[in-house]
Structure 1
Amino acid sequence: MAEDKQETEKTFADLGLCKKLVEACENLGWKKPTKIQEEAIPYALQGKDLIGVAATGSGKTGAFVLPTLEALLKDSQERKSVQPFFVCVLSPTRELAIQIAEQFEALGSDIGVRCVVLVGGEDMLQQSIVLAKKRPHVIVGTPGRLADHLSNTKGFSLHALKYLILDEADRLLSMDFEKSLDEILKAIPRNRRTYLFSATMTNKVKKLQRACLRNPVKIEAAFKYSIVDTLEQGFYFMPAALKDCYLVHVLSSKKGATSMVFTRTCRETDFLALVLRKLGLGAIPINGQMSQSNRLGALNKFKAGEFNILICTDVASRGLDIPSVDVVVNYNIPTNAKDYFHRVGRTARAGRSGLAISLVNQFDIGPFKQIEKHIGDDFKIPKYTANEDEVLLLAERVTEAKRISRKSIKEGGGNKRTDRVDDEDEEDIEKYLGNKNKKLRRK
């Protein structure tokens, strides 16, 4: 059996990549290709269109960066120069676009690859100047900003584009990006290679397949919805009034661990981060309403370990490669089951272990059961238990931290609607404690 395993293991050289790219992989510490890389790269090198499905953290980015760099290098050798605007990669989020560009630059440093990122939140005129001066081989961007440049930046076009890549394709095919994506597809040549990569596959991807892919090879290095074996999952069931107390209980019990806490709204990220800091926990928020510089600043501080808890919306659930996230907490249960897989995919990456904890109350039972159903028909996420008396000991401190945080938000011109909702939450805690005391007195 050991001999069979050794025979089946492949190297990057075995996939058909040139020596320079094999060395680039070695310099990044990539010892052997992942499953999606092993299956996708040979077809890409044959000039096939691809649809790649694999779990988050499985090396999807490398699966499309390496073959496009190989094609770019081959084209430059034939032309005696490297053609600009050769590759375009679309991403649903700014952070993921920046991360993809970093991967291109790291793997293509020895072959002189020039890469430009086009995302919102940055000065468009400055981006136009960089495009004109740098004449990049690779453009990585969000659909809206790329469409803006195609319409408004003089002299910029993608008429010579050879490769179009959609990362997190299912998200890009949502209604949010439909108009921008249609504009881009009209502005680029039909005679090109097209790659779609995602952790989850939807019918919308099939729709795009009919529109712009040519006899694509579908590579499914994972089930439709998959969880890596190294991820431990569990949930706490609690009254809605005690959710903040349970959150503090979980984070305190994992003190020192690197954690990502997913919420539903932008204002929840800001408020929760403030509350947790008042309680002595190192939390920092990130959400789509922050400026690009503030978002990157928060992400870099989290990566550097200045803060060990990142409070985020689903803007951080896709594609971000933060090497050592120990715990993912679902503060709000996502209403769309596939978002759960993207969230928990932030931990247990590249063979490491990780923990995903969901805070489930009486209003979350339906969506939570849908998540279990998508994992497997007979699968049940294990239920964790906590000593509720211990959790209730946190109630007074949590309530006070929320009061102080609310006051800080009001003094800073905060949202009155948020303040009102939080007052109601506080009343719920007090009501719950009052009812519990009444039951104890009856006994």
Structure 2
Amino acid sequence: MTDTVIPPSTTPVSADAPARFDSFGLAPEILRALQEQGYEHPTPIQEQAIPVVLQGRDVMGAAQTGTGKTAGFSLPIIQNLLVHANTSASPARHPVRALILTPTRELADQVADNVKAYSRFTGLRSAVVFGGVDIGPQTAILRGGVEIVIATPGRLLDHVAQKSINLSQTQILIMDEADRMLDMGFLPDLQRIINLLPKKRQNLMFSATFSPEIKKLAASFLSDPVTIEVARSNATSENVTQVLYKVAEEEKRDAVSFIIRERGLKQVIVFSNTKMGASRLAVHLVKQGVKAAAIHGDKSQQERMAALEAFKQGEVEILVATDVAARGLDISEMPCVINFDLPYNAEDYVHRIGRTGRAGSKGDAISLHTDKDDRLLADIEKLTKQKIVRLQLAGFVATSVHTERRENSGRGEREARGSDRHDRGERGDRAERSERSARTYQAPREKVDPWFLKPYEPSTASAVAAKPEVATKVDASKTPKRAALLGGGSLLGKKN
């Protein structure tokens, strides 16, 4: 595999005369859609990728997240598929011609929204399929015929197994965030999907990061690709200001509340490493009067999409998320992201902070750091080749933590005093019981009759003593009979 490399670039060709979308030869239908969304000038990745993709070349696009990779590959794809656009109702006239694979449901939905917006005037059909929702409606749409399919690998293979999709006429394959798909264990699924596609096709890979594993995968199916890098690999956006605050582990929740309150932040994503941590932080923020919601893998797809929609509409101000939201979410003018936890994977840091500072706007990335995070911080700074600015969180007091500590301390003291009184009382009770027991249960003194100590001596006194017993024997025939009442009312000894 030989690469044609386009050198890194961070600015348009000419600052005086920036490139425009209408300079790429895009169809009027596409330009109309872009104009309605207010897009006139392409970003650097779009400026370099669109002409190459239009030529039908394979591409490896390396660009930091938030620079417009989705439009960089979807616009030229729509342009190249326009020759197949038609209004026929027959599914046979709408075979799958372009397949876009994404690692997560959220990214798939985001890409699908963009593709639908860019192709709205073209007559091309598109559909998105992902897991976690009923497969029935997706099946109906696919069987109706679509030219562009955006999918997660697992659900796509489900449709293949059910024969609701045919990939035999697919002309273009796009892997978006392919490194993430490998991290999530999708490599076997990707290989199966590639084997289902025609050998002759155009292949595109776009991501913010390219690991050695991704390059190995690319070498297995890309043909003479053009490598486009608009920024150094694993670089973070210069539009994002990164700061780091060191706090104690138990004070992190209060620190997030303090930052949000002091800065008056709205439409902010707070990233947590764990699903439980995300849920607990969201509950804490709600108790602090913040409109917050959590999104993570334990939430159903409907719950996740509802939370995202509420966040986009401003009904939810703070979205607490795991890395399920680190890629693909495009929230316009998001002012800030907060790392409640530093990510375990340094590359995820690049994607997290890429949710802000998008499309040339400015943004802040705030991270909380504890003593146990030293290794994670070192990995991030090594990957991004920059040192994050350390600052003190001035004026911050972890009130709820201190209150909890005081309550716990007071409760502990009360319990200790009560326990001491209990112990003293118990000790006194035990002593009293022991003393009482000693008095009550002392072995009785045995009274010894001296008569029992004498040796046995037969004498006439015993015989004499026995005679009265014989003499006093009662003669039953002369004793008056008495009646006794027993059960049944019968009388015993009654004369007949």
Pair 1:144-2:122 in alignment = no
Alignment of 1:110-125 (within 5 A): 110-125=121-136
Q: 1:279–1:398: 8 Å Cα contact kept in structure 2? A: no
Report the CA distance between 1:204 and its aligned residue.
1.8
User: Among 289, 293, 317, which residue is 1:284 paired with?
Assistant: 293
Q: 2:273–2:344: 8 Å Cα contact kept in structure 1? A: no
The 3-state SS of whatever aligns with 1:110 is coil
Cα deviations across residues 149-201 of structure 1 (Å, max 9, x unaligned)? Answer: 112x2353100000111111111233521222122111111211111000111
The 3-state SS of whatever aligns with 2:358 is coil
For 2:122, the aligned partner's letter is I
Cα deviations across residues 216-254 of structure 1 (Å, max 9, x unaligned)? Answer: 100001111122222111011122232222222222212
Report the CA distance between 1:270 and its aligned residue.
1.2
Cα deviations across residues 234-291 of structure 1 (Å, max 9, x unaligned)? Answer: 0111222322222222222122432111001111111111111011111110111211
Which residue number in structure 2 is paired with residue 198 of structure 1?
A: 207
The 3-state SS of whatever aligns with 1:391 is coil
For 2:323, the aligned partner's letter is D
Which residue number in structure 1 is paired with residue 165 of structure 2?
A: 156
Q: 1:271 to 1:197 in 2, by over 3 A?
A: same
Report the CA distance between 1:6 and its aligned residue.
2.6
Q: 1:36–1:221: 8 Å Cα contact kept in structure 2? A: yes
The 3-state SS of whatever aligns with 2:50 is helix
Cα deviations across residues 400-433 of structure 1 (Å, max 9, x unaligned)? Answer: 9xx9xxxxxxxxxxxxxxxxxxxxxx99xx9xxx
For 1:322, the aligned partner's letter is I
Report the CA distance between 1:380 and its aligned residue.
1.8
User: Among 44, 57, 68, which residue is 2:66 paired with?
Assistant: 57
Alignment of 1:84-103 (within 5 A): 84-103=95-114
Pair 1:131-2:142 in alignment = yes
Which residue number in structure 2 is paired with residue 45 of structure 1?
A: 54
For 2:107, the aligned partner's letter is L
Q: 1:72 to 1:317 in 2, by over 3 A?
A: same
Q: 1:126 to 1:236 in 2, by over 3 A?
A: same
Which residue number in structure 1 is paired with residue 476 of structure 2?
A: none
User: Among 186, 211, 216, which residue is 2:225 paired with?
Assistant: 216
Distance 1:307 1:253 in 2: 18
Which residue number in structure 1 is paired with residue 216 of structure 2?
A: 207
Which residue number in structure 2 is paired with residue 16 of structure 1?
A: 25
% same residue: 37
Distance 2:222 2:188 in 1: 19
Report the CA distance between 1:5 and its aligned residue.
2.7
TM (norm. structure 2) is 0.76
Question: Which of the two has higher C-alpha Rg?
Answer: 2
Which residue number in structure 2 is paired with residue 391 of structure 1?
A: 397
Specify which structure has the higher proportion of helix: 1
Q: 1:190–1:212: 8 Å Cα contact kept in structure 2? A: no
Report the CA distance between 1:317 and its aligned residue.
0.3
For 1:382, the aligned partner's letter is V
Which residue number in structure 2 is paired with residue 66 of structure 1?
A: 75
Report the CA distance between 1:340 and its aligned residue.
0.3
Q: 1:73–1:82: 8 Å Cα contact kept in structure 2? A: no
The 3-state SS of whatever aligns with 2:52 is helix
Alignment of 1:174-185 (within 5 A): 174=183, 176-185=185-194
For 2:213, the aligned partner's letter is K
Report the CA distance between 1:125 and its aligned residue.
2.7
Distance 2:57 2:270 in 1: 39
Report the CA distance between 1:19 and its aligned residue.
2.5
* Structure 2 runs not aligned, ≥5 long: 1-11, 413-496
Pair 1:260-2:269 in alignment = yes
Distance 1:24 1:242 in 2: 48
Report the CA distance between 1:102 and its aligned residue.
1.1
Q: 1:233–1:355: 8 Å Cα contact kept in structure 2? A: yes
The 3-state SS of whatever aligns with 1:165 is strand
Higher deviation after alignment, 118-127 or 298-307: 118-127
User: Among 360, 366, 371, which residue is 1:362 paired with?
Assistant: 371
Count, aligned residues: 395
Report the CA distance between 1:320 and its aligned residue.
0.7
For 1:101, the aligned partner's letter is A
Which residue number in structure 1 is paired with residue 453 of structure 2?
A: none
Distance 2:267 2:183 in 1: 31
Which residue number in structure 2 is paired with residue 350 of structure 1?
A: 359
Q: 1:36–1:60: 8 Å Cα contact kept in structure 2? A: yes
Which residue number in structure 2 is paired with residue 436 of structure 1?
A: none
For 1:136, the aligned partner's letter is V
Which residue number in structure 1 is paired with residue 421 of structure 2?
A: none
RMSD between superposed Cα atoms in Å: 2.3
Q: 1:69 to 1:249 in 2, by over 3 A?
A: same
Which residue number in structure 2 is paired with residue 381 of structure 1?
A: 388
Q: 1:245–1:398: 8 Å Cα contact kept in structure 2? A: no
Q: 1:101–1:116: 8 Å Cα contact kept in structure 2? A: yes
For 1:194, the aligned partner's letter is N
Q: 1:398 to 1:26 in 2, by over 3 A?
A: farther
Q: 1:16–1:42: 8 Å Cα contact kept in structure 2? A: no
Pair 1:245-2:254 in alignment = yes
Q: 1:347–1:353: 8 Å Cα contact kept in structure 2? A: yes
Q: 1:311 to 1:83 in 2, by over 3 A?
A: same
The 3-state SS of whatever aligns with 1:5 is coil
Report the CA distance between 1:300 and its aligned residue.
0.7
Which residue number in structure 2 is paired with residue 188 of structure 1?
A: 197
Q: 2:139–2:164: 8 Å Cα contact kept in structure 1? A: no
Cα deviations across residues 129-165 of structure 1 (Å, max 9, x unaligned)? Answer: 22112x01111110000011112x2353100000111
The 3-state SS of whatever aligns with 1:359 is strand
User: Among 102, 106, 112, which residue is 2:117 paired with?
Assistant: 106
Q: 2:250–2:401: 8 Å Cα contact kept in structure 1? A: no
Higher deviation after alignment, 324-333 or 124-133: 124-133
Cα deviations across residues 304-337 of structure 1 (Å, max 9, x unaligned)? Answer: 1111110000000001101132121111111211
Report the CA distance between 1:397 and its aligned residue.
5.7
TM (norm. structure 1) is 0.84
The 3-state SS of whatever aligns with 1:164 is strand
Distance 1:112 1:374 in 2: 44
The 3-state SS of whatever aligns with 1:363 is helix
For 2:42, the aligned partner's letter is P
